[in-house]
Amino acid sequence: MEIIIYGIVNSLTLILMSIGFALAYGVSRIPNFAHGALFILTGYLTWLLRFRMDMPYGLAILLSLIIVAIIGVALYQIILIRVRGMPISEIIASFGVGLAILEFLRWSGLKGTAHMLPPFMSGSMLIFDVPLDYQRIIVVLGGVSVLLFLWFFTTYTKPGLSLKAIAQNERAGLVLGIDSDIAATLAVAIGAVFAGIAAIILLPLGNIVVEMGYEVLVFAIAVSVCGGLGSWKGAVIASFLIGFAQTITVSLVAPHYHFVTALFIIIMVLIFKPSGLFGRQKELEERV
Question: Binding residues for other proteins, per CB under 8 A?
Answer: 31, 79, 82-83, 87-89, 91-93, 96-97, 99-100, 103-104, 106-107, 218, 221, 225, 254, 256-257, 259-260, 263-264, 266-267, 270-271, 274, 286-288
Listed residue (183, 153, 212) closest to 81, CA to CA: 183
Q: Is 132 helix (H, G, I), strand (E, B) or coil?
A: strand
Residue nearer to other proteins on the CB measure, 158 or 256: 256
CB of 91 to other proteins, least distance (A): 7
Residue nearer to other proteins on the CB measure, 133 or 181: 181
CB of 266 to other proteins, least distance (A): 6
Listed residue (167, 161, 162, 157) closest to 182, CA to CA: 162
Residue nearer to other proteins on the CB measure, 110 or 132: 110
CB of 63 to other proteins, least distance (A): 24
Phi-psi region of 228 (alpha: psi -120 to 50; beta: other; left: phi over 0): left
CB of 280 to other proteins, least distance (A): 15
Rounded distance, CA 40 to CA 210, Å? 7
Listed residue (72, 78, 19) closest to 42, CA to CA: 72
C-alpha dihedral (247, 122, 12, 256), degrees to nearest 10: -30
CB of 161 to other proteins, least distance (A): 25
Residue nearer to other proteins on the CB measure, 233 or 287: 287
Contacts of 105 (CB under 8 A, 6+ apart): 40, 41, 44, 210
Tally of CB atoms within 10 A around 218: 16
How many residues are given for the chain?
288
Residue nearer to other proteins on the CB measure, 96 or 206: 96
Tally of CB atoms within 10 A around 207: 14
Residue nearer to other proteins on the CB measure, 166 or 262: 262
First-to-last CA distance in the chain?
40
Residue nearer to other proteins on the CB measure, 100 or 176: 100
What's the maximum distance between 2 C-alpha atoms anywhere in the chain? 57
Rg (CA), the chain: 19
CB of 74 to other proteins, least distance (A): 13
CB of 111 to other proteins, least distance (A): 9
CB of 279 to other proteins, least distance (A): 11
Residue nearer to other proteins on the CB measure, 164 or 287: 287
